[in-house]
Structure 1
Amino acid sequence: MSIDLHVDDAGVALITINRPEARNAFDAEHYQQISRAWERVRDDPAIRVAVITGAGDKSFSAGADLKTFVGRKAEMSEFWLTQKDQLLNRGLEVWKPVIAAVNGYCIGGGMTLLLATDIRVAVPHATFSLAEVKRGIIAGNGGTQRCIAQLPYAIAMEALLTGDTIDAATAERWGLINKVVPPEQLLEEAMKYAHRIAANAPLAVQAAKELAVKAPEMGLAAGLRMEQFTNKLLSSTNDAREGALAFREKRPARFTAS
């Protein structure tokens, strides 16, 4: 039982939620482990892209392991420890792209984790839901915020207010996921995305993600200006020079994130 993290030679980190006996749900220990994994993805210069999946063939993640939290009394002071054990979906800023390989149940906190990723591939038997309202709570860790931002209003409200489950084909139709692939191709397809991204200029990729994520809060005028500032900075990097040289020489670029 663990959160496994492996990095390949291309700089792609594979994170596996390895708790299949509990549908890859998170107890307190595994929340701490996944927090450390996201911090490494954020901070390790050898990592350019991350892929996250669940162990086994039944569940991506069922979210919080509620039975391990029932009866737990948290000190009121914990409410203001907003930076403790930060998560990707709780507000940790990870500008390296994150790809989800959804191998089964994606419910509750698993769904809010999915909403914090950038590209999503799923198997045909994957199912998706924000069922918290059926348990007397709401979809936290960004569930209400990202759902309404990423899906059409009526579809997002249906998901949030009914807690009902949708299948992979419906999720693809509404743009919640990019692609549905056979189970034996899931990880291969996710890694294809990851390696295509990892081959691009890392600084430019991270800048593009940050600007896109922050676009709604900036407004168009500020966003356009930030694009100008960012391109001004990027144009002086070694990667920008290498990109231009590789284009002229008709060869793959060798980017160094510098």
Structure 2
Amino acid sequence: MSIDLTIEDGIATVTINRPDRLNALNQEHYHSLSAAWIEVRDNANIRAAIVTGAGSKSFCAGADLKEFIPNPPGAGEMWLTQTDQLLNRGLEVWKPIIAAVNGWCLGGGMTLLFATDIRIAASHARFGLPEIKRGIIAGNGGTQRTLMNLPYPLAMELLLTGDDVDAETASRWGIINKVVAPDELMPAALEYAHRIARNAPLALQASKELALRSRDVDLATGLRIEQMFNRFLMSTQDASEGARAFTASRPPKFIGN
């Protein structure tokens, strides 16, 4: 029972592997998940990543409250803000990340989902933020990212009722991109990953970073940063290769430089 990381053809797959607890995360799992995301961030051979859960019942049920509530962290840990950073809590990973939701997506599983870029769900998946029913709040970005992903009344419905919704509702609300049959989930996620990974890796990361930072800057500043990023990218070997490949009507061979 662990966080498993595999890499094949430039695609990393991060699997939350604790199916007996619906892939709920204890402190050890959070530590391992942080390490996996750092590897995705820093490994130049990785072009894109998929995150999923082991088994067929659950993507991630969030924090294992049976372990966390009786044993809360010490007060001093409140200020250890760089410890075990996560995709949905502080860690900046600009490579594209695809969620393959294979069942329950609850609590911290939802906030993890909200920190991904493309989201595919099996038809039996369900989504919710039930923390309010347990006397706590949706942490690790739950109260922050929900309103970034949903219109206000829908976000507040999830946050304040704690109820879950099915995959078709999640699709209609815009939480996920596509609903597929369970046996089509990973093939669909891999198809997205390979389609994305064929593009220039520096341009992919720049596009993601600019899009996310646009939420925090005014339009004039965002346009200026975009211009500077593009000037930088035009000087790269990948940009030259992209032009050559287009002229020769052949697929480009990008190297991330």
Shift of 1:26: 0.3
> After the TM superposition, which residues 36-185 of structure 1 pair with which residues of structure 2 at under 5 Å, given as runs?
36-185=35-184
> In the alignment, which residue of structure 2 is the partner of 1:7?
7
Shift of 1:71: 2.1
Indicate how the Cα distance of structure 1 residues 50 and 132 shifts in structure 2: closer, same or farther if over 3 A, else same.
same
Shift of 1:196: 0.7
CA distance in 1, matches of 2:36, 2:145: 22
Q: Counterpart of 1:13 in 2: which secondary structure?
A: strand
Shift of 1:75: 2.2
> In the alignment, which residue of structure 1 is the partner of 2:201?
202
CA distance in 2, matches of 1:201, 1:161: 42
Deviations 1:227-251 (A, max 9, x none): 1000000000000000010000001
Q: Structure 2: where are the runs of 5+ without partners?
A: none
Query: In structure 2, what residue type is equivalent to 1:167?
Result: D
Deviations 1:118-137 (A, max 9, x none): 00000111000011111111
CA distance in 1, matches of 2:69, 2:154: 31
Shift of 1:74: 2.4
Deviations 1:45-97 (A, max 9, x none): 11110000000000000000111123214222211000001110111000001
CA distance in 1, matches of 2:65, 2:79: 22
Q: Counterpart of 1:89 in 2: which secondary structure?
A: coil
Q: Does 1:189 align with 2:201?
A: no
CA distance in 2, matches of 1:108, 1:68: 15
Number of residue pairs the alignment of both structures matches: 257
CA distance in 2, matches of 1:164, 1:238: 50
Q: TM-score, normalised by structure 1?
A: 0.98
CA distance in 2, matches of 1:74, 1:169: 37
Q: Counterpart of 2:214 in 1: which secondary structure?
A: helix
Indicate how the Cα distance of structure 1 residues 64 and 188 shifts in structure 2: closer, same or farther if over 3 A, else same.
same
> In the alignment, which residue of structure 2 is the partner of 1:243?
242
CA distance in 1, matches of 2:97, 2:216: 21
Q: TM-score, normalised by structure 2?
A: 0.99
Query: In structure 1, what residue type is equivalent to 2:55?
Result: G
Deviations 1:126-166 (A, max 9, x none): 00001111111111111111110111111011111111111
CA distance in 1, matches of 2:179, 2:70: 39
CA distance in 2, matches of 1:69, 1:165: 22
Q: Percent identity over the alignment?
A: 63
| RMSD of Structure 2 on Structure 1 (CA) | 0.7
CA distance in 2, matches of 1:208, 1:59: 31
Shift of 1:219: 1.5
CA distance in 1, matches of 2:246, 2:78: 52
Give runs of ≥4 in structure 1 deviating > 4 Å. Answer: none
CA distance in 2, matches of 1:219, 1:108: 31
